[in-house]
Amino acid sequence: MSMAQQPAQTQSGHIIPADKVTRLPLAYPKPVAWLVCFGCALCLLLIFCISAGVLFWRGIGVWGNNIPVNWGLAISNYIWFLGIGHAGTLISAMLLLLEAHWRNSLNRFAEAMTLVAVICAGLYPILHLGRPWLFYWMAPYPNTMTIWPQFRSPLTWDFFAVLTYLTVSLLFWYIGIVPDLATTRDRAKTRGWQVFYGLLALGWRGSARHWTRWRQSYRLTAAIAVPLVVSVHSEISLLLAAGPMPGWTSTVFPPYFVLGAAFSGFAVVSMIAVVLRHVLGLEMLVTERHLDLLGKFVLATGLMTAYGYCAEVFDAFYSGDKQDLGTLMDRLTGRYAWSYWGAVVANFIPLQLLWLRWARRNPLCLFLVSAAVTLGMWFERYMLLVTTLYRDYLVSSWDNYHPSLWDWSLFAGMLGVFFVPFLLFVRFLPVISVFEIKEARFEESEAQHA
């Protein structure tokens, strides 16, 4: 492995510091900045622990949930986090099988992002349970009650979906990182790091047999992961559709949710890509071309999501159902209209910039548009839940929803749950798939010589 010490060369003759990535964990360029970020993330994690502690001690009553709006911030954040995760799988698995080599510069950190996002998402429904310590009742296991989970309920499938997604994402990410961990192990100077990376690399020696096995398992896991891209979030939309509530019954929901998920996910991946390449000096690996492609993906999925918005409105008018129309009007003009218009404006107005090539290639511009999209998609999740629930069929049960302080503190804390492991990943593991980049470069040069 340590044979490829010399930088790889591109066709144009530029020297590409691909190997730099495997050195990053051993000689991190900006330790102080990292420590500051990590400290902030730890503070957020502390907020999470306090909020969860208060929640466990005093119960769901500390939140703003009430009886028409029994799915408040917890579930909208759940959908939001899970959606963000989707881009990682999409980039990694789908583009791997499609042999789009440009994914190699993005997939590793996108997968890591998926992993932590799924963990954040998975925590929310558990925290949302009245008795969270009994969450394992969702699993079908032999029990003293002789009851099984209700397999007709999407809630049960939700449990399976998130668990499968977590397992497959973890496997896929870990299998993918093993060869790079071995490289880092070989570069490590001190005994401690050698043992640390050595254990993680599982004795990888890079023999031909290792590579064959690796290729088999990686592609297999990818093939398993691809259906999850569409199944998990369409299943979430069924969670809503199973409740006979106005505004949740449109047949566009499954694709609308999946595309919205990919949309928000690509936005987050773009933000991470912009920040990482700037901080770690990876401009040569995550090039403007990659930002350009990410921008195109954000634009494309964004326009498809916009189609979902139109279809939803059309659906309400087409059904002519009084309650559906009422909910539509509540969304457009009601008390929570800010969340609808917030979603429309933040999602689709700055997005139009991405039609321009320079905007896609400009890191700051891409970052800002993506931030707007991330915020906009958060508005959308909030809008979908609250505007439907706060006014249902029974006028007597109408009530407004105000997230409480503990709702918000848990959300802030959940960002800590997101950033702490992600920052650890950035600091201690190879953030970009080096060996795949090298392989692709090698194939390119071979093709040129031939």
Partner 1 sequence: MPQIFTASADTRLRAVGLVIVLLIFVATLFVGGEMDSTYTTLVGWVKDQPVPFSHKHHAGELGIDCRYCHTTVDAGPKAGLPSTHICMTCHSQVWTGAPMLAPVRESLAENKPLEWQRVARLPDYVYFNHSIHIARGVPCVTCHGRVDQMPLMTRAQPFQMRWCLDCHRDPGPHLRPPSEVTRMDWSGWNENSTEHKEYGERMVKAYGLRPDQLDDCNICHR
Tokens of 117: 């996002």
**Rounded to the nearest whole angstrom, what is the least distance from the CB of residue 148 to partner 1 in the complex?**
12
Q: Which is nearer to partner 1, 205 or 449 (CB)?
A: 205
Q: Give, as ranges, the residues between 114 and 153 that touch partner 1 (CB under 8 A).
A: 142-147
Instruction: List the one residue from 72, 85, 198, 334 that touches partner 1 (CB under 8 A).
Output: 198
Tokens of 433: 């798939």
How would DSSP label each residue in 292-337? HHHHHHHHHHHHHHHHHHHHHHHHHHHH--HHHHHHHHHHHHSTTH
Q: Residue 276: what residue type?
A: L
Instruction: List the one residue from 31, 53, 61, 203 that touches partner 1 (CB under 8 A).
Output: 203
- Where helices occur in 59-141 by DSSP H, the ranges are 73-89, 95-97, 107-128
Q: Which is nearer to partner 1, 145 or 394 (CB)?
A: 145
194 makes contact with partner 1 (CB under 8 A): yes
What phi and psi values does residue 90 have, to the nearest 5 degrees? -60, -50
**Rounded to the nearest whole angstrom, what is the least distance from the CB of residue 27 to partner 1 in the complex?**
18
CB-count exposure of residue 359 (10 Å: 0-12, 13-18, 19+) = buried
Q: Which is nearer to partner 1, 147 or 450 (CB)?
A: 147
The count of chain residues that interact with partner 1, using the rule CB under 8 A, is: 15
How would DSSP label each residue in 216-261? HHHHHHHHHHHHHHHHHHHHHHHHHHTS--TTS--TTHHHHHHHHH
Q: Which is nearer to partner 1, 194 or 445 (CB)?
A: 194
207 makes contact with partner 1 (CB under 8 A): no
Q: Give, as ranges, the residues between 386 and 405 that touch partner 1 (CB under 8 A).
A: none
Q: Which is nearer to partner 1, 156 or 194 (CB)?
A: 194
How many C-beta atoms lie closer than 10 Å to residue 98's C-beta?
A: 10
**Rounded to the nearest whole angstrom, what is the least distance from the CB of residue 180 to partner 1 in the complex?**
17
Measuring CA to CA, which residue among 270, 170, 265 is closest to residue 225?
A: 170
**Rounded to the nearest whole angstrom, what is the least distance from the CB of residue 256 to partner 1 in the complex?**
33
Instruction: List the one residue from 40, 66, 149, 186 that touches partner 1 (CB under 8 A).
Output: 186
Q: Which is nearer to partner 1, 187 or 360 (CB)?
A: 187
**Rounded to the nearest whole angstrom, what is the least distance from the CB of residue 150 to partner 1 in the complex?**
10
Asked if 248 and 316 count as a contact pair (C-beta separation under 8 A), the reply is: no
Q: Which is nearer to partner 1, 34 or 196 (CB)?
A: 196
**Rounded to the nearest whole angstrom, what is the least distance from the CB of residue 445 to partner 1 in the complex?**
28
Enter the DSSP assignment of 63: S
**Rounded to the nearest whole angstrom, what is the least distance from the CB of residue 146 to partner 1 in the complex?**
4
Measuring CA to CA, which residue among 173, 161, 154 is closest to residue 83?
A: 161
Of 81-89, 196-204, 357-365, 436-444, the window that binds partner 1 (rule: CB under 8 A) is 196-204
Q: Which is nearer to partner 1, 203 or 227 (CB)?
A: 203
C-alpha gyration radius of the chain: 23
Q: Which is nearer to partner 1, 147 or 208 (CB)?
A: 147
Q: Which is nearer to partner 1, 2 or 400 (CB)?
A: 2
Burial 123-140, CB ≥16 within 10 A → b, else e: bbbbbbeeeeeeeeebee
Of 45-53, 195-203, 301-309, 391-399, the window that binds partner 1 (rule: CB under 8 A) is 195-203
State the distance between the two ends of the chain, measured CA to CA, in whole angstroms: 26
Q: Give, as ranges, the residues between 53 and 92 that touch partner 1 (CB under 8 A).
A: none
How many C-beta atoms lie closer than 10 Å to residue 315's C-beta?
A: 18
**Rounded to the nearest whole angstrom, what is the least distance from the CB of residue 56 to partner 1 in the complex?**
18
Asked if 81 and 121 count as a contact pair (C-beta separation under 8 A), the reply is: yes
Instruction: List the one residue from 195, 223, 310, 349 that touches partner 1 (CB under 8 A).
Output: 195
d(CA 171, CA 223): 12
Q: Which is nearer to partner 1, 15 or 199 (CB)?
A: 199
Q: Which is nearer to partner 1, 142 or 320 (CB)?
A: 142
| Beta bridge mates, 8 | 16
**Rounded to the nearest whole angstrom, what is the least distance from the CB of residue 203 to partner 1 in the complex?**
5
199 makes contact with partner 1 (CB under 8 A): yes
Q: Could you give the string, one character per residue 154-173, with x where binding to partner 1 holds by CB under 8 A and - elsewhere? A: --------------------
Tokens of 406: 């503990």
Sign of the alpha-carbon dihedral angle for 52, 425, 274, 96: negative
**Rounded to the nearest whole angstrom, what is the least distance from the CB of residue 28 to partner 1 in the complex?**
22
Contact footprint for partner 1 (CB under 8 A): 2, 142-147, 185-186, 191, 194-195, 198-199, 203
